[in-house]
Amino acid sequence: MTIHFYNTLKRTKETFKPIDATRVRMYVCGPTVYDYAHIGNARPVVVFDVLYRLLRETYGEDHVVYVRNITDVDDKIINRAAESGETIGAITQRTEQAFLADMGALGAMPPDHQPRATEHIPGMITMIGKLIAAGHAYEAEGHVLFNVASYRAYGELSGRNRDEMIAGARVEVAPYKNDPADFVLWKPSTPDQPGWESPWGRGRPGWHIECSVMSEKHLGPTFDIHGGGQDLIFPHHENEIAQSTCAHGGAKFVNYWLHNGYLMAEGEKMSKSLGNFYTVHDLLKEFPGEAIRLALLKTHYRQPLDFRKVGIADAKKELDEFYLALRNAGDVKADVPDHPPVAVIAALSDDLNTPKAIAHLFELKTRLNVARDAGEKALLKGELLLAGDVLGLLGQSPDVWLRGAGHVGGLSDADIDALVGQRIQARAAKDFATSDRIRDELAAQGIILEDGAGTTAWRRQ
- Which position has the higher pLDDT, 425 or 78? 78
pLDDT, average across residues 78-103: 96
pLDDT at 158: 94
Q: Could you state, in order of their start, the residue ranges of all structural domains in the chain?
A: 4-264, 286-404, 410-460
SS3 state of residue 106: coil
Q: What are phi and psi of 65, to 5 degrees?
A: -120, 120
Q: Which residues, 6+ apart, have CB-to-CB distance to 418 below 8 Å?
A: none
pLDDT band of residue 457 (cuts 50, 70, 90) is confident
pLDDT per residue as tens digits for the range 266-313: 999 998 888 899 999 999 999 999 999 999 999 999 999 999 999 999
Average pLDDT taken over every residue of the chain: 93
pLDDT, average across residues 231-254: 97
CA 11 to chain centre: 23
Instruction: Residue 408: name the closest of 246, 290, 279 by CA.
Output: 290
% of the chain surpassing 70 pLDDT:
96
Question: What distance in Å separates the CA atoms of residue 360 and residue 366, rounded to the nearest whole number?
Answer: 10
Output the CATH code of domain 4-264: 3.40.50.620
Beta strands at 456-460 and 183-188: parallel, antiparallel or unpaired: unpaired
pLDDT per residue as tens digits for the range 309-321: 999 999 999 999 9
Q: Any idea how long the chain is?
A: 461
